[in-house]
Amino acid sequence: MRSFGYRRGVLQAQGITLEALARRFGTPLYVYDFDAVGAAYAAYARAFAGREHRICFAVKANGNLALLRRLAGWGSGFDVVSGGELARVRRAGGAAGGGVFSGVGKTAAEMDQALAAGILLFQVESEPELELLAERAARRRRRARFGLRVNPDVAAATHPHIATGERGHKFGVAMEAAERLYLRSRRGAMGRWLEAEAIGFHIGSQILDPAPFALAARRVGELGAALERQGVKLRTFDAGGGLGIAYERGQRPPSLAAYARALGQGWAGARERRLLLEPGRSLVAAAGALLARVLYVKEQGKQTYVILDAGANDLLRPSLYGAYHEIAPLRRRAGRRRAVEVVGPLCETGDAFAHARPLPPLQAGDGVALLDAGAYGFALSSNYNARPRAAEVALEGGLTRLIRRREGTQDLWNGEVV
């Protein structure tokens, strides 16, 4: 459920008007409704209450320390893909023991860091990675719990950049290879330092159909059952993340109940295992908005360009994936809607938030909100064109808190040497 709605013609969340926030903190500004994140987390916990499970928030979606701190407080674990993300979790007070370390390119130093922190689980994606993990574990004299991320060769209808579960993708270990690797991990030095804990998959992101989840769960579950017959007992079934949200009218993500049913299909033995979930987007996207102001309205040829003070460096998803984000004026505007181009200030034609978007008349100075920006919004932002990154604000119980100050000019060359 989106946090942002109109009341008496002004866009607000928790009774706080976004125009007031834009004035107080400036734009571009990320605003997050932490209460809505809490509700989304609680809904996950309820949907999976019937079985042992652990929710590991995918930090890559939004790594703000205050957000991670709240999630840890609600009992969330974390899915991290770098030493930096692990450090963030720990800085925010999250326990590494409730975390999964995923990713195709873990370095030896990152493995050492995660071993020292006592990570719950390494999600391993290749044979050489498994070898390196065994070596690092031996060197540190600490057993490493691992799972293989299996590539179930399942196609999911999503943007090609974020589909990950097909044979042709760089992710995971092929079904055929996985069995041999589990058996290998039990022999010799590997057997001494590695402990097979899990089997899992992650087939992509922004998936709106439960069927590919069910198919992946079934395929990977069958492999789990085959391994069990050979004496490899896996305590955890990691179903990754990927549940999509409705960015656009007409998009219908499965309910959490339907998602839980899809993941429960296949392997009967999976029900006896701890289910591990790695949601990112579905926990935080709808709870966040990027506020911006109209700098200029420019008529050129047949087009009307609404030029904002936020650009693709602040919110990359439309440029990178052609992603749709609803654009809502901070004050409701009367007048006929017209199809306009909503663009940013960057020196790239690709710096556009929307093409031919029907919007009410907007003028310079008007504020707008780009909705559903709580996931992969700030996280993908950059200093391109030497633009300081936006500030972030959290709304909680009707109170407002700055959770990241706006970058200043000095931040632009922090660490550089003349």
Residues annotated as catalytic are 347
Q: With binding defined as CB under 6 A, does residue 202 bind ligand LLP?
A: yes
Q: Using CB under 6 A, which of the segments 110-118, 133-141, 213-221, 279-287 binds ligand LLP?
A: 279-287
Closer CB to ligand LLP, residue 31 or residue 58? 58
Closer CB to ligand LLP, residue 242 or residue 329? 242
Residues 184 and 227: beta-carbon distance below 8 Å: no
Pick one of 293, 317, 325, 357: the residue that binds ligand LLP (CB under 6 A): 317
Can you count the helices (H) and strands (E) in the chain? 13, 21
Pick one of 210, 221, 242, 288: the residue that binds ligand LLP (CB under 6 A): 242
Nearest to 30 by CA among 409, 410, 395, 399: 395
Residues 64 and 77: beta-carbon distance below 8 Å: no
Query: 6-22: buried (b, 16+ CB within 10 Å) or exposed (e) per residue?
Result: eeeeebbbbebbbbebb
CA separation, residue 373 to residues 119, 120, 362, 388 (Å): 29, 30, 21, 18
Residues written for the chain: 418
- As measured in angstroms, the least distance from the Cβ of 75 to ligand LLP is 18
Pick one of 35, 110, 125, 278: the residue that binds ligand LLP (CB under 6 A): 278
Q: Using CB under 6 A, which of the segments 140-148, 258-266, 275-283, 329-337 binds ligand LLP?
A: 275-283
**Dihedral sign from CA coordinates of 270, 275, 281, 287:** positive
Pick one of 3, 27, 76, 102: the residue that binds ligand LLP (CB under 6 A): 102
Q: With binding defined as CB under 6 A, does residue 319 bind ligand LLP?
A: no
Which residues within the stretch 159-178 sit at the binding site for ligand LLP (CB under 6 A)? Answer: 162
Which residues within the stretch 18-77 sit at the binding site for ligand LLP (CB under 6 A)? Answer: 58, 61
- As measured in angstroms, the least distance from the Cβ of 93 to ligand LLP is 21
How many chain residues bind ligand LLP (CB under 6 A)? Answer: 21
Residues 329 and 360: beta-carbon distance below 8 Å: yes
Q: With binding defined as CB under 6 A, does residue 198 bind ligand LLP?
A: no
Q: With binding defined as CB under 6 A, does residue 241 bind ligand LLP?
A: yes
- As measured in angstroms, the least distance from the Cβ of 171 to ligand LLP is 8
Which residues within the stretch 327-366 sit at the binding site for ligand LLP (CB under 6 A)? Answer: none
| Cα dihedral 57, 61, 62, 63 in deg (nearest 10) | 70
Find tokens 């709870």 and name the residue: 287
Closer CB to ligand LLP, residue 224 or residue 240? 240
Q: With binding defined as CB under 6 A, does residue 220 bind ligand LLP?
A: no
Find tokens 């709304």 and name the residue: 395
Closer CB to ligand LLP, residue 169 or residue 333? 169
Tokens found for residue 247: 């960015």
CA separation, residue 47 to residues 41, 42, 107, 206 (Å): 10, 9, 36, 19
Q: With binding defined as CB under 6 A, does residue 376 bind ligand LLP?
A: yes
Residues 398 and 16: beta-carbon distance below 8 Å: yes
Q: With binding defined as CB under 6 A, does residue 279 bind ligand LLP?
A: yes
Q: Is 338 helix (H, G, I), strand (E, B) or coil?
A: strand
Interface positions with ligand LLP (CB under 6 A): 58, 61, 79, 102, 162, 202, 205-206, 240-243, 278-282, 317, 321, 375-376
